[in-house]
Amino acid sequence: MRKTVLVILMAVFILAGCAKEVSKKEIGRRTVPAHTETYYTTHFITSGGVLIPLMTPHIRFIQEHEEILYEITYDSGKKQQRWEVQDADK
């Protein structure tokens, strides 16, 4: 019985938190130039009982792209701004 009530309560909280978009209005644009990004992955090895981190750099090339700033209104009345990358074919 307790598990059933718990599952029902969890379902209610999950569904209550799922707001739907009511409107999505474009409020800005920007062009991001081509650039490179460097990120690192860390691997750990042991030597004589000592943990040694090894950082490996990776370089990624990012093409020039356009981003659009949207103001999104949800059915709960909440407003949020979000940058989205525009598709290359649009």
Please state, in angstroms and rounded to a whole number, the distance separating the CA atoms of residues 48 and 70: 55
Q: Is residue 12 part of a domain?
A: no
Please state, in angstroms and rounded to a whole number, the distance separating the CA atoms of residues 54 and 63: 29
Beta bridge pairs of residue 84:
68
Name the pTM for this structure. 0.56
Please state, in angstroms and rounded to a whole number, the distance separating the CA atoms of residues 34 and 39: 17
pLDDT at 15: 60
pLDDT at 14: 64
pLDDT at 4: 82
Number of structural domains (the chain) is 1
CA 19 to chain centre: 17
Confidence of residue 86 (pLDDT cuts 50, 70, 90): confident
Q: Is residue 13 part of a domain?
A: no
Q: Is residue 8 part of a domain?
A: no
Write the pLDDT tens digit of every residue in 21-74: 889 999 999 999 999 999 999 999 998 889 999 999 999 999 999 999 999 998
Q: Is residue 4 part of a domain?
A: no
Please state, in angstroms and rounded to a whole number, the distance separating the CA atoms of residues 27 and 79: 13
The residue range of the domain holding 45 is: 21-85
Q: Is residue 57 part of a domain?
A: yes
Q: Is residue 49 part of a domain?
A: yes
pLDDT at 28: 95
Write the pLDDT tens digit of every residue in 14-23: 666 667 888 9
